[in-house]
Structure 1
């Protein structure tokens, strides 16, 4: 029997009231933001917004609660953008879409920061449900950054992995850690680099006292990249079944899979809300297409982050995931 777990990859849209309030506060406190001080009013607004999105997840019946990453203005680049050894520079397009982030230029050793751990500690005080931490995977974070200190791609990737492992080591008790790795698809590593990417992911996963899920998206992994990822000591690999069903099915059937999987079944960029029945049908279709697999746990999730969506659509998609995961049995 496959256990179904409703969750999400985090990076939520700000509640409408928070978007307006924070835009006003940040406009008035621009100097403080440049110096790295968010100010008490901004901190308070984010705290209230965090409490709201935790409540939304609980009401939707999600089995894993994320912090929401509402402060992550630079999206996956955030853990570097707030680091003292990093200078955030001009605006860069976020892969091939209309979202942007500030280029994080690493100028010194990436020592411990603790920003994400502090967010998780605050979230733990708001819920009794199982927590899920969210981080950029080391390959994607290195891909999004500019190295002006290490001077070697392999050394830089290893340093990013060590930095994230140090952050994970400071986490409070979490049930699951999700590493978001869209660059494995969008800017696939070449020969040799694919193995180093797997090693960096393994370093982060080894620091976690939690189930570790690696979620690539915006397509399917190339075969060699997928095969190397399976070498990492992770509990689950994710599949974007919105963007590319066929190649992901092929990878599972040809190379096998982890005992647990994350199934990206809900479109994180489209306002059309999937029904719980549609999500169930997609789970059953995957089950039928992978007769040799016997997954112990399947995380039901969106294929990408959800910050692209209007708040009402985001909430509706979480509700659909929560209801869809109530299926008692997929494969005996």
Structure 2
């Protein structure tokens, strides 16, 4: 019997009241809020907001609760942007949309930082019994978002990013699941040789935890070779974006197989139109029907992308729809 798990890739929108409070704190502009040296007042705002988004998820009935990544003003680039060996420079477009991040330029050795683990620990203090899920940028995507001025070689830089992330993940408190977010595998796929190194880098991050590891890809489908190499990594599930490209994702699964666990991006993380739970359940059933050779132990039912693109009200509604849709899918499957 398949287990249906309602969850999200994280990176939630910051509520307006939190934006207002952070913006009004004397001497702190937006670019200073994520430099790792926030004062007590700023930390208190983030603590309150973290509790708020945890309540959104618990109230909606999600099976996994994420920290929300509310300090990630630089989105997936955040872990580098707050590192002492990284200089943030100009504003860069975040993939192909109207969001921007500060370019992280690595100018020194990427040693252990602990920023991600600290946020997870703060989430654990809210409800120690909640089924927690961590979200981390994938090593390939993070290397693509950053600029290297220290390691001097693309392969060495990717290795350094992977080792850095593995150290961060190793410091996590107990979590049920880790979502590794790898959109660049789709938007800027690695070439020959680099695709294998990307898989090995992901494998290194996955080996740093005993939790289930889901590599969430989005904004399209993986090329056949990249998909095949990703399956070689010691991960528990691959995430497929069925909002953006269902045909090629189905082809990859049916032609090359996938893991016994899988994540399906079935709700649009960027569109304010909220899917009905019944529609999400129908999409689950449709994908299952279209992959007759696959038997999944676990299906993670999620949005295809991060959620920070959405207004808070729509984000909450998406959470409710995911939880209800996964529950309905479980009923239909019985």
- Above 0.5 in TM-score? yes
Aligned CA-pair RMSD: 1.4
Counterpart Cα distance in 2 of 1:76 and 1:48:
22
- Which residue of 2 is the match for residue 305 of structure 1? 306
Counterpart Cα distance in 2 of 1:178 and 1:294:
21
Q: Classify the secondary structure of the residue corresponding to 2:270.
A: coil
Q: Classify the secondary structure of the residue corresponding to 1:325.
A: helix
Give the Å deviation of 1:37.
2.1
Matches within 5 A, 1:174-193: 174-193=175-194
- Which ranges in structure 2 are unaligned for 5 or more consecutive residues? none
Change (3 A) 1:251 1:196: same
- Which ranges in structure 1 are unaligned for 5 or more consecutive residues? none
User: Is the Cα contact below 8 Å between 2:34 and 2:82 reproduced in 1?
Assistant: no
Counterpart Cα distance in 1 of 2:285 and 2:124:
34
- Which residue of 2 is the match for residue 90 of structure 1? 90
- Which residue of 2 is the match for residue 63 of structure 1? 63
Counterpart Cα distance in 1 of 2:34 and 2:195:
36
Give the Å deviation of 1:24.
1.9
- Which residue of 2 is the match for residue 328 of structure 1? 330
User: Is the Cα contact below 8 Å between 2:215 and 2:238 reproduced in 1?
Assistant: yes
- What TM-score, normalized to structure 1? 0.97
Counterpart Cα distance in 1 of 2:140 and 2:300:
22
User: Is the Cα contact below 8 Å between 1:2 and 1:330 reproduced in 2?
Assistant: no
Determine whether 1:147 maps to 2:148: yes
- Which residue of 1 is the match for residue 221 of structure 2? 220
Counterpart Cα distance in 1 of 2:33 and 2:304:
32
Counterpart Cα distance in 2 of 1:181 and 1:81:
18
Q: 122-131 vs 215-224, which deviates more? A: 122-131
- Which residue of 1 is the match for residue 162 of structure 2? 161
Give the Å deviation of 1:129.
1.5
- Which residue of 1 is the match for residue 78 of structure 2? 78
Equivalences, count: 331
Change (3 A) 1:32 1:164: closer
Q: Classify the secondary structure of the residue corresponding to 2:65.
A: coil
Matches within 5 A, 1:84-163: 84-127=84-127, 128-163=129-164
User: Is the Cα contact below 8 Å between 2:13 and 2:309 reproduced in 1?
Assistant: yes
